[in-house]
Amino acid sequence: MKRIKEKVDLVLSIRRKTVIIFTIGALVFALVGLIDRAVLVQSETKKIQSEYTDKQKQIIRTQVENAVMFIILAKEAGISKEDIIKSVRKIRFGKEHDGYIFIVTYKGTTLLNDTQRQLEGKNIWNISDPDGVKFVQEMRLAVQNAEGDFIYYFWNKPSTKSNSPKVSFIKGVSDWEWMVGSGVYLDSIEDDIAALRKAEIKKSGLITLFLILVFLSLLIIIQFIFKQFTEKVSGKIQLFSSYFDSASMESKEIDISGIRYKSFSSIAEDMNRMIKNKQEADAKTFGSEQRLFLQREQSPLGYLEYDLESKIIYWNPAAERIFGYSKEEILGRSDEIIVPPEIISGIKNIFKELIDGSVSDDKGIKSINDNITKDGRRITCEWYNKALIDQEGKVIGFIALVVDITERKLMEEKLQESVEEKKVLLKEVHHRVKNNMAIISSFLSLQSMNIEDEYVCSLLQSSENRVRSMALIHEHLYKSESLKDISVQTYIEELIIILLDSYGYGAADITVIKEIMEINLDLDLLIPLGMIVNEIISNALKHAFTNIDSPELYVSFIKISPEKIVLTIRDNGVGLPEESEISRNDSIGFLLINGLAQQINGKIEINRGHGTEYRITIPV
C-alpha cells in the first residue's frame, strides 16, 4: 500500500510542479520577447548605419581613385602640378554637390582644400581632432597601402558648426608624395535611428503584454484539465499497480480477466508479451554472440577493446595488418605502444571523456591522429571510440574501430594545395582585369574632359559606364571567397550608385525603388545581365527625365520559379520612341540590349505607357 500511495502522490506532485513550470515559462518567454525586441532594434540600427556608411564610402572611394588616376595620367602627359591642382579643384559630387577632393603632401602641407582655402600652403601635420587623433598622420599611414585606405576622425561640420564623425578615403601619388582624399560626415541618419528605437520600444511592450496574457490563459486551462485527469487516474493506478508488481517480480503473466479498465488491459497484454519474448530472446543470445565474433574477426576495419586501465583485451586480424603486431604480442599491453609520445595525453583525455559521460552513448568520439607501427613507421589513422556500458549504465571498458588513412590524407593535402594555387591564380586574373578596365575607364573619362562636342562626350561616357559595369564584376570576384557565383543584389545596387553619380544624380534628385532578391549567378550570365542593366538605366538617366518634376526609377530582379528570373526596370519619364524611330537613329544601346538578351536566351517586353518599362524573362 505504501508503494501505491507513493505513485498517487507522484501524480499529484506532477500537477503542482506543472503550475510552477508554466508560471516560470510565462515569465521567461516574456523576458525573451523583450530581449529579442531589444536585439532587433540594435540590429536595425546597426544595419542602417552600416548601409549608409558603405554607400558613402563607395562614393568617396570612387571619386578619389578617379582623381588619382587623372593625376597620374596628367603627370605622364607632362601637365604641370599647378594645372593639375586647378583641374582637381573643379571636381564636385554628391547630392548637394558638396563633395570635393583635397591634397596634402606626405609632410603635412596642404596643397588643395577648396572649402578651407586658408589652410592651403600651411603645414597641418600636428593638428588633432577633439579625440586627439592626428588625422594627417593617419593619412600618412593610409597611403602605405597601395590600394588606399579609410581613416576615421572628428571634424568641424560647416552646416552645424560643430565637430561631427567623419570618414575619408586616402590614396597616395608616390612620385610627388601627394596624399589625395575625400571625406563624408556620418551623423546624417541619427533622427531616423531615434524614431526606429521609439517605435520598436512601444511595439515590444504591446507584444510582451499579449504573450503574458496568452500564457496565463493556457496555464489556467491546462491546470483545470490536469486536475480532472489526475483525480480519475489515481484510483486506477492503485488497482493496476498490484497486478503489475506481481508480473514484474515473479515473471509470471498477468491475469487480464481481472482487469476492468481497457486502458490498463492493453498495458497488461504488452507485459505478457514481454515475459514471453524474454525466453525467446535468451535462447537467441548465444547465436548472436557467435555472429558478433565472426563479424569482428572478418571486419576490414581494425577492432580493439580496452579495459578501464587502457590495456588492450581484444585485437582482430585487421588491426594486425594495420599495426603489424600479432594478438600474442599486443594483448594485455597498454595502448601507448601504438601512440606517439607527444599525443598520449590527448588519447587519455578521450578515455576520460567517455568515462565521465560527457559524450552521448550513441555518438562516441571520432579522432584522426598519428600512430606507430611495429616497424617504427608513422601512419595516420581515423578512430571511432565508444564506451562499453553495463546494464546499470556503468562504464566497464572501451571499444575502438580504426582505419589507416595515410595515403588518403596525402592525396587530400596535395589536392587542397592544387585547389588553393588555382584560387590564387584566378583571383590574380580577376584583379588584373579589374585594374585594366579601371585604366580604360579613366582614359575615357580623361578624353571626355578635352572634348567639347556633347554628343561625342555622351558616347565616351556610355562606353566608360559599360567598362565600369564589367570591371565591377571582376572586383567582386577578386574579393569573394567563391570564384563561381556573385551576389546579384550587391552588384546591381552598387552599379545603380555608380550610374547615378556618373550622370550627376543625388539622393534627393531621384527616387530609386529596388526589389532585388539575393540570387547568385555565374559569370557567363552575370556579365550580359550587368550590361543590360547598365544600358537601360543609362538611357533613362540621359533621356527619360527631361522636364519631369519627380523622377522615379524602379529596378526589380526576382525569381518567379526555379527555372525563371525576371528583370524589370521602369521609369516615369517621357517614354521610349517607337521602334522605327530607334532603328533610324541607329541606337547602339537598343541594339546592345536586344543582342545581350538573345545571348542569355532572354525574352524582352517593352511597355511605353506612362514612361518606359523593360521586362526581361531569363531562363536559368
What digits encode the pLDDT tens for the residues 157-194? 777 777 888 899 999 998 899 999 998 887 766 655 66
Mark whether 313 and 375 lie in a shared domain.
Answer: yes
Q: Residue 531, class by beta-carbon neighbours within 10 Å (0-12 exposed, 13-18 middle, 19+ buried)?
A: buried
Mark whether 310 and 421 lie in a shared domain.
Answer: no
Mark whether 502 and 513 lie in a shared domain.
Answer: yes
Mark whether 491 and 617 lie in a shared domain.
Answer: yes
What DSSP character marks residue 123?
B
Terminal alpha carbon distance of the chain? 74
Q: How confident is the model at residue 131 (pLDDT cuts 50, 70, 90)?
A: confident
Q: Kindly state whether residue 8 falls inside one of the protein's structural domains.
A: no
Please give the average per-residue pLDDT across 313-323, as a whole number: 92
Mean pLDDT, the chain, rounded, equals: 78
Highest mean pLDDT among 48-57, 137-146, 348-357: 137-146
What is the number of domains present in the chain?
Answer: 4
Phi, psi of 535 (to 5 degrees): -65, -45
Domain that holds residue 610: 487-620
Q: Kindly state whether residue 112 falls inside one of the protein's structural domains.
A: no
Mark whether 276 and 378 lie in a shared domain.
Answer: no
Closest CA to 127 of 115, 116, 111, 138: 138
Mark whether 263 and 331 lie in a shared domain.
Answer: no
Instruction: Look at residue 278 in the predicted model and tell me its pLDDT.
Output: 64
Here the cell at position 449 is 574632359
Closest CA to 173 of 67, 78, 92: 67
* Residue 381, pLDDT above cutoff 90: yes
Q: How confident is the model at residue 285 (pLDDT cuts 50, 70, 90)?
A: low
Mark whether 324 and 369 lie in a shared domain.
Answer: yes
Query: Which of 349, 369, 404 is the C-terminal boundary of a domain?
Result: 404
Q: How confident is the model at residue 375 (pLDDT cuts 50, 70, 90)?
A: very high
Q: Kindly state whether residue 365 falls inside one of the protein's structural domains.
A: yes
Mark whether 579 and 500 lie in a shared domain.
Answer: yes
Instruction: Look at residue 585 in the predicted model and tell me its pLDDT.
Output: 42
Here the cell at position 283 is 535462447
Stretch among 33-37, 215-219, 599-603 having the lowest mean pLDDT: 33-37
The Cα–Cα gap between 431 and 519 comes to 23
Instruction: Look at residue 227 in the predicted model and tell me its pLDDT.
Output: 66
Q: Kindly state whether residue 194 falls inside one of the protein's structural domains.
A: no
Residues 6+ apart with CB under 8 A from 535: 466, 589, 592, 593, 596
Q: How confident is the model at residue 231 (pLDDT cuts 50, 70, 90)?
A: low
Residues 6+ apart with CB under 8 A from 540: 553, 569, 571, 573, 612
Q: Kindly state whether residue 119 falls inside one of the protein's structural domains.
A: no
Ramachandran class of 291: left when φ > 0, alpha when ψ lies in -120 to 50, beta otherwise: alpha
Instruction: Look at residue 586 in the predicted model and tell me its pLDDT.
Output: 44
Mark whether 524 and 557 lie in a shared domain.
Answer: yes
Instruction: Look at residue 582 in the predicted model and tell me its pLDDT.
Output: 42
CA 292 and chain centroid, separation:
47
Q: How confident is the model at residue 218 (pLDDT cuts 50, 70, 90)?
A: confident
Mark whether 344 and 420 lie in a shared domain.
Answer: no
Q: Residue 223, class by beta-carbon neighbours within 10 Å (0-12 exposed, 13-18 middle, 19+ buried)?
A: middle
Please give the average per-residue pLDDT across 374-380, as a whole number: 92
Helical axes 2-76 vs 488-502, angle rounded to 10°: 40
Ramachandran class of 334: left when φ > 0, alpha when ψ lies in -120 to 50, beta otherwise: beta
Mark whether 399 and 410 lie in a shared domain.
Answer: no
* Residue 106, pLDDT above cutoff 90: yes
Q: Kindly state whether residue 237 falls inside one of the protein's structural domains.
A: no
Mark whether 521 and 590 lie in a shared domain.
Answer: yes
Query: Which of 459, 483, 507 is the C-terminal boundary of a domain?
Result: 483
